[in-house]
Structures are given as C-alpha cells and as structure tokens.
Amino acid sequence: MHIGQTDTTSVKCLINSISRFLHLVSCQIVKPAPFQKICHNMVGVLKRLKPVLDDVMDYKLPFHQNMSKECEELDVRINEARDFIEKWGPKMSKILSVIQSSTLLIKLQSTSLDICHMIVRSLQSPPSASVLANLQNYIQELQCLKKETAMVYIEEALRNQRDNVQPSNELLKEIAELLKLTSNEELLKESIVVEKERLNAEVNKMKGDLDEINEIVNLVRNLRDYVMRTESLEVKTGLSIPPYFRCPLSLELMMDPVIVASGQTYDRQSIQKWLDNGLNVCPKTRQKLNHMNLTANYTVKAMIANWCQENSVKLCSNSLLDKSSCITTPADHSLPHDLANKCGFKSMNIDSISRSSLQNGNGNEKPNGDNFVRSSEEYNGCRSGTVERCDQQSSDVHSRSESSFSSSISSTDCILPVSGQASGISDKPQNVDSVVGNKQSPASRIQGTRNGNIVMNNNNINTSAKQNDSRVDSHPILNSGAGEVATSSHVNKLIEELRSQSVEVQTMAAEELRLLTKNDIENRIIVGRCGAVEPLLSLLYSDMKITQEHAVTALLNLSINEDNKTMIMEAGAIEPLIHVLKTGNDGAKANSAAALFSLSVIENNKEKIGRSGAVKALVDLLAWGTLRGKKDAATALFNLSIFHDNKARIVQAGAVKFLVRMMESADGMVDKAVALLSNLSTIPEGRIEIAREGGIPLLVEIVETGSHRGKENAASVLLQLCLHSTKFCILVLQEGAVPSLVALSQSGTPRAKEKAQQLLSHFRNQREGAAAKGKS
C-alpha cells in the first residue's frame, strides 16, 4: 500500500524528534567518557536513520502496516534519551549513567533496525539504486554497532555478583579506569549518589529499579575494596598509610575517626557528608542506623597520631585530631594490638578507660583526665584487636542493633600497650634474659590485663598484679613465635609436627602456631594458607587438655582473617569446637566459644552453627563456666541470636533461666544478659520464659539503676512483654516501673527514651481502654 496522509504523521514526528535530538546533543557541553561515546553512538544511529526516513517521505515508498507503530515507539525512545541527556549532570552516578544510556542506545538501535527491515520487506521496486544502497549500508552499520566497553565490563561484574562470584581485580580495574573512579574522592561521590538512588527507589517502591541499584551499590563497594587492597596510599615517598588507618568510605587517612550506630568506624568528614545527604544506612554493613550520633574513637586517633609522629608525617592544620569524634573498627580493617606496639602506642593505659561517652552516644563528651582511651578490642565481625582476648567488659557502642553487640573476647595471651607510668616500667628496653634478635621475647612481654591490673610474665620485673576471676597462662612461653614473621618452610615444619605421634611434639607445635598467630596479621595468612587448619582441628579431640587448648586458641587466632574463617568452616570446625566446649579445660572452653563467635560473624555461618548443636553447649558454658567462659558464651549466643531461628533454639536450651540469674549478680554480666534477653524477647517463647523465671522485677530495677546500655535493653524487653501480653503489662505496673520509665524518657539515650515513651504511651492506652470499657 502507498502512504496516505494519516500514515505520514508518525514518520514526520519521528524526523522532527531526530532533528531536535541532534540539535540538543550538538549544544551540550562535552561529557566524560564513556558517557560521551555512548551519546556519540546515539547521534550516529539517528543521524544515519534520518536520510532513510527522508527517502521514505520524498519517494512516497510503501511500507509495512506496523511501520507507524514502530515509528511512534522510536519517537518515545528518542524523547527518553533526550530527557536523560538534558537531566544528566556531573553529580549523577557514573555507573548508573553508563547503564541507563547504554540501555537507551540499545533500544534506539533495535527499533531503528526493525524500521529498516520493514522498509526493505515493503519495497517492491526501489525508485533508485542509491536508496537501497543507503538502506543496506545503514542496516549493516546498526548490526555492527557494539556495546561500549565500560558497559561490557559492568555487565560482567554484575553477572559475577549475581552468581556469588567476586569480580576479578582486572575487571574492577578496567571499570575504575574507564569511569575515572580511581580517586578516593570520586569513589566517595559515587557511593553517596548510588545510595541516594537506592533510597529513592526504596521510598517509591520500585522493585525492579531497587534490585538493579542494590547490585550497583555492591559493585561500588567492590570497587572501594579493590582500591583499598591495591592502592598504596603514600603520605610521602616510600611511606604508605596502613589500611586500618584509612576510612573505609573515603579511603583516606582518618583525621577524625568516629563510630556510627552500626559500630563501624569512619572519618568524621566522610561519614558526615554521607549523613548530610539523608542517608541512614551504614556504608559498610548496609545496616540501617538507629541514630545519627557520632562518637569519638580516641584509641584510633591516638594510634594514628603516634604513627604520624614516628614517621614524621605532618597532619593538616585543620585536622580534627584534637577534637572529639567517633569510631568502631570495621571488620575488614581490625586494629590488632600488635599495631599498637608498631605505632609506638605506649603511653596509655587501655584498661583505665571512661566508657561514658560511648554509652551516652555523645560524640562531644570529653574524656576525664588521661583515661580517655577506649579499648578497641570489640569487633564487628571479629572486631577483636588481639585475637586471644582481653577480659574487659564489652561496650556495645551506642547502637542497640543486634549486629553491633560485641564482646571483648578475653584471653590468656592478650598483649596490651601499657603506660610506662601506670606500670612503673620505663619505655626503654628492660634487661631481659631471653631476647630474639632486637625484639623482646614473649616471656618479657605483658601477658594480659585483668580488670585494669597489669599481669607480667618476666622474672626481671616485679609485679603484684591481682588476678580477678581470670586466667593468665600458667605455663612459661619458651619459644619466640610471638612478634616474628613466619616463613612458609617453618610453618610447614610445624604442621608436620602437629601430625607427629608424640603428644609432646604436637603440643609444642600447636603452642608455637598459637604464638605466631597471636598478634601478627601476616602470620595468620601464612599459617592458614600452609594448611594448618585441619591438623589443628584434629588436635581438638586430643586427650591432653593443654594440647587441646593450644590448638583451639590457634584456630581462634586464625579465624580473625576473613579467608581463614571460610577455610575453618569448610574444614568442618563446628563439631570439634563443640567437643572442646564439652570436654576442654576452662581456657579451652572459653576460646572455643570465642572461636564460634568469630566464625558466626559470617551470616551463613549463624544458621549452620545454630543447627549443629552448639547452642546447647554454649548455654551450658553460660550456666556453669568461669566468668570468662560465661562472657564468651554470652557473646557467641548474642551473635547467633541475630539469625531468627536461633532465638528459639537458645530459649529451648534453657538460656533464659541463667540470663535472669545474671541480672542480679555482681560479676559484670548484667549488660550482656539484658542485651541477649532483648533479642530473645522478640519471640513468644522468650517472653514467656523471661516472665516465668522472674525476670520482670529485675528488668524494672535495671531501668532504674542500671548502666545506660542496660537501661536501654531492659526497657526494650519490658516493651516487648507489655505489647504482647496484658498479664505481663500488669506485672510490670505492679513493680512500680512508671517513675523510672518517666525519668528514662527524659534523660536516657535516644533509643532508651524512645522505648520508655512507647511503654508509657502503651500504659496510657491500656488505662483509657479499660476506662472506656467500664463506662460502657
């Protein structure tokens, strides 16, 4: 059929749209590659199509009956592309820009190709050879048009992520270079913009868009991790900033490290920029932040300052290092205590620390006197500074979210930097009998701290440290494993000795591996890669208790490394660790619980450990273990309770009874007990057990007299009880909870205020409802 007046409308509109689009692009400023190249390809597609459509109009060529529909569809696509280019700005996400513009280009290409094929099929006898030649050449060009290289790499990376495969460094490098995302500043901008897009999609409930943007968020995170792994950030020639001093968001040296509600640490300027953009999730964990308070991490600030001083690095004049800020060490950049030694961090007594600023969630609170350094042992995901842990009271930062609960995992081998004044020891080396190279042997180092008392294992130093409900290694440390970087050949020799028929040889090898992995990050990697995990696991079944203890502690040390976590789980560690929980000595049991906590940091492992029977063994340790064992068991159980199905397992194992008892004890377990009960109170079985075991009066008392953290979690438990049972509500009121809740609603932490106000509101509603019912 021939074109009629009506049929030409869609073609004319299309030609006009193409002309407007070409004019728009010609007037636009030059855009960054590869976005500019994609726009150029769009122009190429439409610029070559226009003469074809002009021929259709000039020669009144016949065309397929669906031609009008295809022309209208292409017109819509061109308008979409025009809108996108008009709205594009340098503040938009580079990755999202490439994806969206490439998608538009593909649609333009596909629809233009369909139109050309329709014209070819409709031609009976072309009016001239040039028309057909132009048409065929254009079709060939369209078919040969390839995707922009950046888009190809982005698609491959996204496919890898969907298949749970980590994109390769080469792939991430290509994306970063093509999109000019190689600078820390650009990566920070990209992170913020992508997160804002995700938030918009979430608010507007656009599921398809949200899924796509979540994938891009993960890609940006992978790019940041790649830069952190591969970029050696030098502050001066030959001196690179240690990765644990770099902000995981900006990747720069943390001038003013701060802790957010999720327990992660960032530089104040970077995270404040993130928050100022209306973003309320943790960039690292993706966890929603319960509040926007920032709390200073004085430990990390002091360590950075000492590192700068030792390396003659000048901090900027506008540095905020002398002001308050806030932090918690990220899982991937934990701050081992051996770093404190490397950084010359000797002038602070870690155990004499004021925790009030964190508990209050007050980023501006000043420390008292010299005791301003918080211990940085707690870790989000094995946030432990020293693997074999210090028996300090854990502080849950100010976030009450489940994943931010962390314990200072105590240990026999904890080495903490201690003030020379506090310990009465000169900063200069002491006269020591046993020396390894230029380093002090482990026998001359601080072997642990307990409740602020320094415990030394050096015959040349007179100490009167008091051991309060804690254990220090009773055996002398004879070898020089700690503090040395191991060689693969030496580690392989020790692994062979682990398989020896001699129990004594096995014990000495396990002990040396324990020491090698105690503080040294590199040694953990080397020992893990050499294959020590399986022979160490086999020693967990040893009848010799000290061998068992050395082996389980070495595994705990290894588990701090993320790759080793996976390796240990794949080797079948759960059953041997449960065996140690049931049969080991006190130290081995505590370290086994701590190892389970460390492994449970990985989300998938929470379910596996919960199903394995470990919960019952941990509850037994919670009930009958030493104080140190109880603390480690409570920490592990809390982390496991983050996985919903494990809550019922913990309740069924009888944990509530022992947790209620701990609330009235004076052994420093109150806050841990209430924190775990807060999680268990979210299921019916947990609430019933809490009331049955007489927990309500104790919870009311904690709301009145407990710590900031204790009040918060106690109010949370009471709220759960009252919301789900009128009977429990009456019991809470009978205990006289109202005055304490009123006080808490006015002077507590933000979360405590919120819980108290909700409870008081619930009481009022209950009373009004009862009054209305009485009148009727």
379 vs 522: which has the higher pLDDT: 522
Q: Please, are residues 595 and 555 in contact by the beta-carbon 8 Å criterion? A: yes
Contacts (Cβ under 8 Å, ≥6 apart) of 222? 157, 161, 166, 167, 172
How many Cβ atoms are within 10 Å of 602's Cβ, its own excluded?
Answer: 17
**Residue 15: per-residue pLDDT:** 85
Query: What is the C-alpha to C-alpha distance for residues 259 and 335, in angstroms, rounded to an integer?
Result: 14
Q: What is the DSSP string of 593-617?
A: HHHHHHHTTSHHHHHHHHHTTHHHH
**Residue 128: per-residue pLDDT:** 59
> Both tokens of residue 480?
């020089």
**Residue 238: per-residue pLDDT:** 63
Three-class secondary structure of residue 436 per DSSP: strand
For the cut 80, the answer to whether the pLDDT of residue 61 exceeds it is: no
Residue 341: how many CA atoms within 13 Å on its side-chain side? 16
Query: What is the C-alpha to C-alpha distance for residues 376 and 257, in angstroms, rounded to an integer?
Result: 12
**Residue 324: per-residue pLDDT:** 32
Look at 329-343, 368-382, 511-525, 560-574 and tell me which has the smallest mean pLDDT: 368-382
**Model confidence over 104-157: pLDDT tens digits?**
888 888 888 888 878 777 765 555 566 677 777 788 888 888 888 888 888 898
Residue 623's DSSP bridge partners are none
Torsion, Cα of 235, 238, 244, 248 (10° steps) = 50
**Residue 670: per-residue pLDDT:** 93
Q: What is the DSSP string of 275-327?
A: HHTT--B-TTT-PBPS----EE-HHHHHHHHHHHHHTTPPPPTT--TTS----
Q: What is the DSSP string of 168-180?
A: PHHHHHHHHHHTT
What's phi and psi for 562, nearest 5 deg? -60, -45
**Residue 412: per-residue pLDDT:** 34
**Residue 62: per-residue pLDDT:** 64
Look at 111-115, 233-237, 472-476, 530-534 and tell me which has the smallest mean pLDDT: 472-476
Going by DSSP bridges, is the β-strand pair 239-240/257-259 parallel, antiparallel, or unpaired?
unpaired
**Model confidence over 669-700: pLDDT tens digits?**
999 999 999 999 999 999 999 999 999 999 99
Contacts (Cβ under 8 Å, ≥6 apart) of 622? 630, 633, 634, 637, 655, 658, 659
Residue-wise over 734-759: b if at least 16 C-beta within 10 A, else e? ebebeebbeebbeebbbbbbbbbbbb
Query: In one letter, which amino acid is 301?
Result: K
Band the pLDDT of 26: cuts 50, 70, 90: confident
What's phi and psi for 547, nearest 5 deg? -65, -45
> Both tokens of residue 226?
């790649």
Mean pLDDT value across residues 289-299: 83
DSSP state, residue 234: E
Query: What is the C-alpha to C-alpha distance for residues 376 and 187, in angstroms, rounded to an integer?
Result: 28
Query: In one letter, which amino acid is 453?
Result: N
Query: Directed axis angle between helix 35-58 and helix 129-144, to 10°?
Result: 160
Using the structure block, give the residue that is written with the tokens 């995170």. Answer: 221
Query: Directed axis angle between helix 67-87 and helix 35-58, to 10°?
Result: 150
Contacts (Cβ under 8 Å, ≥6 apart) of 19? 50
**Residue 64: per-residue pLDDT:** 63
Contacts (Cβ under 8 Å, ≥6 apart) of 238? none
Residue 271: how many CA atoms within 13 Å on its side-chain side? 33
Residue 518: how many CA atoms within 13 Å on its side-chain side? 29
Bond prior to 34 in cis (omega within 30° of 0): yes
Q: What is the DSSP string of 37-100?
A: HHHHHHHHHHHHHHHHHHHHHHTT----TTHHHHHHHHHHHHHHHHHHHHH--TTS-HHHHHHH
Element spanning 414, H or E: none
Mean pLDDT value across residues 282-287: 83
Q: Please, are residues 321 and 307 in contact by the beta-carbon 8 Å criterion? A: no
For the cut 80, the answer to whether the pLDDT of residue 216 exceeds it is: yes
pTM (predicted TM-score): 0.46
First to last CA, the chain: 81
**Residue 630: per-residue pLDDT:** 92
**Residue 34: per-residue pLDDT:** 72
**Residue 689: per-residue pLDDT:** 94
For the cut 50, the answer to whether the pLDDT of residue 754 exceeds it is: yes
Average pLDDT, the chain: 74
Q: Please, are residues 669 and 631 in contact by the beta-carbon 8 Å criterion? A: yes
User: In terms of DSSP H, where are the helices of 145-237?
Assistant: 149-162, 169-178, 184-203, 207-230
Rounded to an integer, what is the distance from CA 551 to the centroid of its chain? 29
Nearest-CA neighbor of 632 among 658, 668, 594, 662? 594
**Model confidence over 398-448: pLDDT tens digits?**
333 333 333 333 333 333 333 333 333 333 333 323 223 333 333 333 233
Band the pLDDT of 594: cuts 50, 70, 90: very high
Q: Please, are residues 645 and 610 in contact by the beta-carbon 8 Å criterion? A: yes
> Both tokens of residue 190?
């990209």
For the cut 60, the answer to whether the pLDDT of residue 385 exceeds it is: no
Query: What is the C-alpha to C-alpha distance for residues 550 and 536, in angstroms, rounded to an integer?
Result: 9
Q: Please, are residues 264 and 230 in contact by the beta-carbon 8 Å criterion? A: no
Using the structure block, give the residue that is written with the tokens 């061998």. Answer: 547
**Residue 33: per-residue pLDDT:** 67
Going by DSSP bridges, is the β-strand pair 265-267/295-296 parallel, antiparallel, or unpaired?
unpaired
Element spanning 634, H or E: helix 627-641
Counting every residue, how long is the chain?
A: 776
Max avg pLDDT among 13-27, 205-219, 439-453, 728-742: 728-742
Mean pLDDT value across residues 76-103: 83
Q: Please, are residues 371 and 353 in contact by the beta-carbon 8 Å criterion? A: yes
**Residue 212: per-residue pLDDT:** 84
Query: What is the C-alpha to C-alpha distance for residues 266 and 129, in angstroms, rounded to an integer?
Result: 68
Q: Which long-range contacts (CB under 8 A, 24 or more apart) does 241-248 make?
A: 242/307, 242/339, 243/333, 244/329, 244/333, 244/334, 244/335, 244/339, 245/300, 245/303, 245/304, 245/307, 246/333, 247/271, 248/224, 248/283, 248/284, 248/330, 248/332, 248/333
Estimate the share of the chain in helix, then strand, then coil, as percent rounded to the nearest 5. 60, 5, 35
> Both tokens of residue 772?
């209305």
**Residue 90: per-residue pLDDT:** 74
106: exposed, middle or buried (Cβ count in 10 Å: 0-12, 13-18, 19+) = middle
**Residue 649: per-residue pLDDT:** 94
Band the pLDDT of 364: cuts 50, 70, 90: very low
**Residue 301: per-residue pLDDT:** 83
Going by DSSP bridges, is the β-strand pair 257-259/265-267 parallel, antiparallel, or unpaired?
antiparallel
Band the pLDDT of 337: cuts 50, 70, 90: very low
Mean pLDDT value across residues 330-354: 37
For the cut 60, the answer to whether the pLDDT of residue 482 exceeds it is: no
